[in-house]
Amino acid sequence: MLAEGVRFRLWAPNSNFVALKIYDLDLVVPMGKLARGWYEVEVDAARAGMRYRFVLDDGAEVPDPATRFQPEDVDGPSEIIDPLAFGWTDIGWRGHEWEELVLYELHIGTFTQEGTFRAAMDKLDHLVELGVTAIEIMPIADFPGRWNWGYDGAQLFAPDSSYGRPEDLKALVDLAHAKGLSVFLDVVYNHFGPKGNYLAVYAPLTTEHYETPWGSAVNFDDAGSTMVREFFLPMPATGSMNSISTGYGSTRCTKSATPASATCCRNWPSRSAPPPMAGTCISWSKTKRTRRAGLSAATMARPGSITGSGATTSTTGSMSR
176-224 pLDDT tens trace: 999 999 999 998 888 888 899 899 999 999 888 888 887 778 898 988 8
pLDDT of residue 89: 96
Strand duo 18-22 + 51-56: pairing = antiparallel
Contact 293, 299 (CB under 8 A): no
pLDDT of residue 286: 27
Helix (H) or strand (E) holding 202: helix 199-202
Rounded CA gap, 91 and 89, in Å? 6
Q: Give this prediction's pTM.
A: 0.74
Positions in the chain short of pLDDT 70: 234-321
Contact 243, 72 (CB under 8 A): no
CA distances from 258 to 203, 241, 268, 301 (A): 32, 9, 16, 11
Helix (H) or strand (E) holding 92: none
pLDDT of residue 234: 52
297-306 pLDDT tens trace: 222 222 222 2
Rounded CA gap, 91 and 182, in Å? 14
Distance of CA 123 to the CA centre of its chain: 24
Neighbouring residues of 123: CB distance < 8 A, sequence distance ≥ 6 = 111, 112
Phi/psi zone of residue 37: left (φ > 0), alpha (ψ -120 to 50 degrees), beta?
left
